[in-house]
Chains A and B, each alone.
Chain A
Amino acid sequence: MKQQAAVIGVGQTRHRARRADVSIAGLCREAVDRAIADAGVGLADIDAVVVGKAPDLFEGVMMPELYLADALGATGKPLLRVHTAGSVGGATALVAASLVQAGVHRRVLAVAFEKQSESNAMWALSITPPFSMPVLAGAGGYFAPHIRAYIRRSGAPEHIGAMVAVKDRRNGSLNPYAHLQQPDITLESVRSSPMLWDPVRYDETCPSSDGACAVVLGDQAAAAAAEAAGRPVAWIRATSMRTEPTMFAGKDHVNPRAGADAAAALWRQAGITDPAGEIDAAEIYVPFSWFEPMWLENLGFAAPGEGWRLTAAGETEIGGSLPVNPSGGVLSSNPIGASGLLRFAEAALQVMGKAGAHQVAGARTALGHAYGGGSQYFSMWVVSSTPG
């Protein structure tokens, strides 16, 4: 039988374009130190470490987990590396959670990072193998045609993407850890920013960030001890992962089956029948603005073709009926490997009541979500202020 597990500590770096003052190890350690301090434990209290990052080509360090063991306090303990492209931060949290839920470990540290300034992700994502036609151009070039397909399929007005960008960047300005601080962004400024991968504009794309995130997960006894000491925890109510091929005949790139199946399993496990009514805050992996309405539909918050209406009505703002990415989301900070874990961690912060200026008032149940590859990996969890 599955054991109770909870987030008992959260830490992250102040995400920046370039953290030239620290090595990769130092960057990770900054997040780890904050997470264990938040949990009120020391590294000696951690039983196992799970680490995630995007593909090695991004920094050109092969298997960085090997050299990070000391920095993560993992020497003499189990250390696992998770590898699911952009969703890896979410998958890292879920692997760590499973080690606690299985009753194997009492406290597990999940760490994810990216130091994008050491390389060029556009280059790393655009290697053209022999015999093929070199037309792809990074993640934006891959996803822009699917965004066009969403707009055509849903009939969404053209300004929805810009609305998401304005909301997420303004939310980011409430979050001191967010990379982009743009409190003065407007619909007009987004719509006049350069068109990069038509229909995706510059201000509708995620930044390149250096950053790390760490989360301490504890079993029921560890969580109860934290609560007894006056430290709020986020109880994990449901977890879900699904995968599908990047390309196959019949793949729905706008509403991928793996994402819909993962969400359905998640809500079932959490006992949630009306996600839009029962989720108080959602941290969804939105690297390009239009993915907010797309994933609202894929996750079952809205019927197919209707997700943009929630955005248009302001319901996804802080104060709306379903605040999405109150932290500023991937559009405000994108240390790729860490971006998924940040979604999961920010969902936890909301139900712990520790989200500061971007706190959703009274949030008791929150979603953390990540996807990766060509919409092929999906991971998500539901956390609550009380055990499920």
Chain B
Amino acid sequence: MTYVTQPLRAPLDIGFDYTRSLGPTLSQFMTALAGRRILGSRGADGTVHAPPFEYDPVTFAPPAELVEVGPEGIVTSWTWMAQPLEGQPLPHPFAWALIRLDGAGTAMLHAVDAGSAAAMRTGLRVRPRWAASTTGSIRDIACFVPCAPGEPGQHAPQEHAPQPVTMMTSPVLLHYEHTASPGESSYLRGLAAGRLLGQRCPACGKVYFPSRGVCPADGVPATDEVELPHTGTVTTFCVVNVPFPGQRVTPPYVAGAILLDGADITFQHLILGCPASEVRMGMRVRAVWKPRAEWGTTAENIDHFRPSGEPDAPYDSYARHL
């Protein structure tokens, strides 16, 4: 085994502002929140669900009516969030609590700004702390806070009925730690040294580039390292003319399936160095590397492939790789 012990790792951060079409029931709920009111739905069995269901869990019918609940309620269970995470309701320690609002038969999850875990208990009476400006989102309730003993309810609806809220935006950010497999890591370390390393499957004898560590056809570890030349054949390709969010290469560009000499599987890379209209199946190409100072453990060390000037490979030489 030639695996380097530590696989390569790097962060992968992705995000997208998803939209949510609310539909008739949740639209009323969000619109009410914009007006600093909380609605629940009355089920066929008389139970008021807050937040409201879209379909009755007993009869599966849409709710016949939405009714106002709260705004105060009691904590039915809770846990302490000692170290809040990105995107959570409060930046300092708080409680996640199930809160049954007055008039409701079910509990909703929200944050309670209690100051300390010692101030939290099941049965604690809480009231919403509304956001300074409301938009028609669950975040219009900034959090809940304990009611002071004897404190009157602070129900302060907005004076003007808000515009109906039918759509909301839900930004999603995901932070991953991406780990390359041992096989891929040795291929990437090869790239950092200007080498193209593949692996041969001991069962079928096929050479995989990039290395994967395991042959996907035979399911056995691929242990034999094979160094490949920097030349190959374009087996097929497409000309990408389509822009999309997050794209890192500006269209139009040619994405080619390249079969390195000695490899048994193609990989995708850019074909530059000639007009897109001149790229063809069977075209011989050579890797064009970035300046050595810019190399890392990435396939991007190869800036692109360019025509090598050799005669085209005959179709039969690569037909079985299509």
Q: How large is the interface on B (under 10, 10 to 19, 20 to 34, 35 or more residues)?
A: 35 or more
Say how far B52's CB is from chain A's closest CB, in angstroms: 11
What CA separation (Å) do A141 and B269 show in the bound complex? 12
Q: When A126-B244, A131-B297, A137-B247 are in contact, do A199 and B206 touch as well, CB less than 8 Å?
A: no
B253 close to A117 (CB less than 8 A): no
Q: Is A118 an interface residue (CB 8 A)?
A: yes
Nearest residue, chain A, Cβ from B167 = A20
Q: Is A364 an interface residue (CB 8 A)?
A: no
User: Considering the complex, which residues of chain A in the window 181-206 have a beta carbon less than 8 Å from any beta carbon of chain B?
Assistant: 194-200
What CA separation (Å) do A194 and B184 show in the bound complex? 38
Say how far A287's CB is from chain B's closest CB, in angstroms: 15
Instruction: From the candidates B14, B60, B315, name the one contacting A152 in the complex (CB within 8 A).
Output: B315
| Interface of A (DSSP majority class) | loop
The residues of B that contact A253 with a CB separation of less than 8 Å are: 322
Q: Is B132 an interface residue (CB 8 A)?
A: no
Say how far B213's CB is from chain A's closest CB, in angstroms: 14
What CA separation (Å) do A124 and B180 show in the bound complex? 21
The residues of B that contact A117 with a CB separation of less than 8 Å are: 19, 21
What CA separation (Å) do A198 and B278 show in the bound complex? 13
The residues of A that contact B300 with a CB separation of less than 8 Å are: 133
The residues of A that contact B207 with a CB separation of less than 8 Å are: 249
The residues of B that contact A19 with a CB separation of less than 8 Å are: 21
User: Considering the complex, which residues of chain B in the window 1-60 have a beta carbon less than 8 Å from any beta carbon of chain A?
Assistant: 8, 10-12, 14, 16, 18-24, 26, 53-58, 60
A195 close to B241 (CB less than 8 A): yes
The residues of B that contact A198 with a CB separation of less than 8 Å are: 238-239, 241, 276
Nearest residue, chain A, Cβ from B252 = A198
The residues of A that contact B23 with a CB separation of less than 8 Å are: 21-23, 25-26
A129 close to B12 (CB less than 8 A): yes
The residues of A that contact B242 with a CB separation of less than 8 Å are: 122, 137-138, 140-141, 196-197
What CA separation (Å) do A25 and B22 show in the bound complex? 9
A197 close to B239 (CB less than 8 A): yes
Instruction: From the candidates B14, B21, B236, name the one contacting A115 in the complex (CB within 8 A).
Output: B21
Q: When A197-B239, A249-B206 are in contact, do A132 and B299 touch as well, CB less than 8 Å?
A: yes
User: Considering the complex, which residues of chain A in the window 33-92 have a beta carbon less than 8 Å from any beta carbon of chain B?
Assistant: 43, 59-61, 69-71, 73, 75
Nearest residue, chain A, Cβ from B201 = A249
What CA separation (Å) do A17 and B236 show in the bound complex? 32
Q: Is A231 an interface residue (CB 8 A)?
A: no
Q: Is A127 an interface residue (CB 8 A)?
A: yes
Question: Which of A29, A61, A249 is the most central at the interface, judged by chain B CB atoms within 10 Å of its CB?
Answer: A249
Q: Is B320 an interface residue (CB 8 A)?
A: yes
Q: When A20-B21, A26-B23 are in contact, do A127 and B14 touch as well, CB less than 8 Å?
A: yes
What CA separation (Å) do A149 and B265 show in the bound complex? 15
| Interface of B (DSSP majority class) | mixed
B57 close to A130 (CB less than 8 A): no
What CA separation (Å) do A70 and B53 show in the bound complex? 8
B299 close to A131 (CB less than 8 A): yes
Q: Is B249 an interface residue (CB 8 A)?
A: yes
B19 close to A252 (CB less than 8 A): no
The residues of A that contact B167 with a CB separation of less than 8 Å are: 20
Q: When A137-B247, A195-B241 are in contact, do A130 and B12 touch as well, CB less than 8 Å?
A: yes
A123 close to B217 (CB less than 8 A): no
What CA separation (Å) do A250 and B246 show in the bound complex? 32
What CA separation (Å) do A249 and B218 show in the bound complex? 11
What CA separation (Å) do A20 and B319 show in the bound complex? 47
Q: Is B137 an interface residue (CB 8 A)?
A: no
Mask of B264-299 contacts with A, CB within 8 angstroms, 1/0: 110011100000100001000000000000000111
A120 close to B53 (CB less than 8 A): no
Please list 11 pairs of residues, one from A and one from B, whose beta carbons are closer than 8 Å in the complex, sorted by A's number.
Answer: A23-B26, A75-B58, A122-B242, A126-B247, A127-B246, A130-B178, A131-B299, A133-B299, A134-B249, A153-B319, A250-B217
11 further A-B contacts with Cβ under 8 Å, apart from A60-B16, A124-B16, A137-B244, are A59-B18, A127-B12, A131-B180, A131-B188, A133-B270, A134-B247, A134-B249, A140-B238, A146-B236, A149-B236, A248-B217
Interchain residue pairs A-B with the least CB separation, the first 10: A144-B238, A23-B23, A198-B239, A130-B10, A60-B18, A249-B206, A249-B264, A149-B322, A122-B244, A145-B236
